[in-house]
Amino acid sequence: MLTKKLIRGVGLAAVSAIAISGGAAQAQDATKQDTIKIAVAAFLSGGAAGPFGVPGRNGAELVIDAINAGKLPAPYAAKGFGGATAEGIFFDESGGATKQVAEYRNLVQKRGVNVVIGYVGSGNCIALSPVADELKTLTIFSTCGTPRIFEESPRSYVFRSMSHATADNIAAAHYVADKFPNLKGYTGINQNYSWGQDSWRDFDLTLQTRNSSAKASEKLQFPKIFAGQYGTEISALSLDKSELVHSSFWGGDLEAFVIQGGARGLFKKKTAVLTVGGAASYRLGKRMPDNIILGDRGPYGILVRDRKTALNTWFINAFKDRYGTYPSGPAYHYAQSILATKVAYDKAAASAGMAPTQEQVVAALKGATFESFSTTVDMALGNGHQAITEAAYGITRYNNEAGEPALTDVKFFPAKCVMPPDGVTSVDWIKGGMKGATCS
């Protein structure tokens, strides 16, 4: 009898203690959030890991650590995300959209992640957008390019902290039209999925708007993604009468194409526009031929190496010190998403006077404008969820003295020159003659 009473008493005491401690923890959550969890999705395996995933992951890691330690330059010198320290959880984006949706649910529902950032694959971003809204979790896409995310339906918890792919190709077409006003013909080699096909479409439509006398080749190349062998395509491009080749190749495909095309003299015969070439420039080094028109999905990587702002100088130096190489475009993309998270948390915490809720953080980021490492980010489209930034292109010219890749003739295009106004889809905007574009 005594034993039974003792057990009952101990049990009651234990339950009460748990209830009290839980309540105390909840009360503490409401006033002060010590830690937030930021999950970072990046390709850590597969062909995109080296050129995209690892630099992206490193960019995120560097900036999370710096923010936690209060080491970012002004105006981001305050420690933490709204005062909270962030714990970065890095995971592999490989495996397809189904796996990523399952992983996302796992991170949010079981591991209590507060923010998810990253993603390079457009298919992953499209699949995750409705899930993020369903789970009411702040999600900031770093790199994926498809315009469809906010053009097809409005999003509540989903943001993208850089311009979408339309900007890359409109800017490329502007650059080509400005540099080669007498261009007679152009062709393209792009991967055979939405990224490659959309990239070509935007480039082609814009170039037709700028220079209708230039004719697109009828024999466009759309090899399978990750094909790796482009000997036949390079022959076809070499025999094509077009003077210019457009490509949105990325990752290992891009590097293989540059290596094989370089050995075949393709880039001596044709002018190439590589819209994502910047991501490979440091890795290929001297093997990246001269005179290639190079982009890096915006004003990032090699295109902004000479921008001497405090934030950019800090980012380049800190990245080089820690990882032994210059930050490429994806490092900037991911770092920018982390910065967007800080901007949102700081603003929401300041206005709430306590640990902000998801809704307050989301509201703080919506329509925000902030200075990032290399450019100004304006969440101007998609009802304040889609960023617009400048776009940039330059021409490769290896610097033999410094022993490093470099660019000449770098040109920046204002955000409102290369991104459509809010409420207009990219294709309609280009087809309609890009009305309202402000290019100077």
Partner 1 sequence: METFITNLLNGLQYSSYLVIVSVGLTIIFGVMKILNVAHGSFYAWGAYTSAFFIGKFSDMGWPDAFGFVIIFASAIAVGLVLGFIIERGLLRFMYGRDEVVIILATFGLFLVLEDVILLVFGVDPYFAYQPMAYLESVEVGGITRDVYGLSLILVSTLVAAGCWYGLNRTKWGNILKAVIFDREMSVSMGINVPMVYTVTFIGGTALGALGGAYIAPTVSVAPGLGGEVIVLSFAVVVIGGMGSIPGALIGSILIGLLRAISVHEFPQIELFVIFAVMAVVLVFRPEGLFAPAKVRKI
Residue 187's contacts (CB-CB under 8 Å, 6 or more residues apart) are 216, 217, 219, 220, 221, 237, 240, 242, 244, 245, 246
What tokens appear for 308 in the block? 């001497």
135 neighbors 109 (Cβ within 8 angstroms)? yes
Cβ-based nearer residue to partner 1, 257 or 413: 257
> Least CB distance from residue 262 to partner 1, whole Å?
9
The binding site for partner 1 (CB under 8 A) comprises 44-47, 49-51, 53-54, 192, 219-224, 226-229, 231-233, 235-236, 238-239, 251-252, 255-256, 259-260, 263-266, 269, 283-284, 287
194-210 and 165-179 helices cross at what angle (nearest 10)? 40
- DSSP conformation letters of 14-71: HHHHHHHHHHHHHHHHHH---EEEEEEEE--SSTTIIIIIHHHHHHHHHHHHHHHHT-
> Least CB distance from residue 266 to partner 1, whole Å?
8
> Least CB distance from residue 288 to partner 1, whole Å?
11
Cβ-based nearer residue to partner 1, 1 or 239: 239
Cβ-based nearer residue to partner 1, 17 or 263: 263
Cα separation, 220 vs 222, whole angstroms: 7
Residue 216: DSSP 8-state: E
208 neighbors 128 (Cβ within 8 angstroms)? no
Which residues face 369 on adjacent strands? 378
> Least CB distance from residue 425 to partner 1, whole Å?
25
- DSSP conformation letters of 255-301: HHHHHHHHHTTHHHHSEEEETTTHHHHHHHGGGS-TT-EE--SSS-G
Cβ-based nearer residue to partner 1, 56 or 83: 56
Cβ-based nearer residue to partner 1, 229 or 313: 229
Cβ-based nearer residue to partner 1, 192 or 351: 192
How many residues does the structure list for the chain? 440
Cα separation, 419 vs 387, whole angstroms: 10
> Least CB distance from residue 329 to partner 1, whole Å?
16
Cβ-based nearer residue to partner 1, 7 or 226: 226
> Least CB distance from residue 209 to partner 1, whole Å?
25
Cβ-based nearer residue to partner 1, 103 or 390: 103
> Least CB distance from residue 44 to partner 1, whole Å?
6
> Least CB distance from residue 280 to partner 1, whole Å?
8
Cα separation, 112 vs 356, whole angstroms: 16
ω into residue 330 within 30 of 0, thus cis?
no
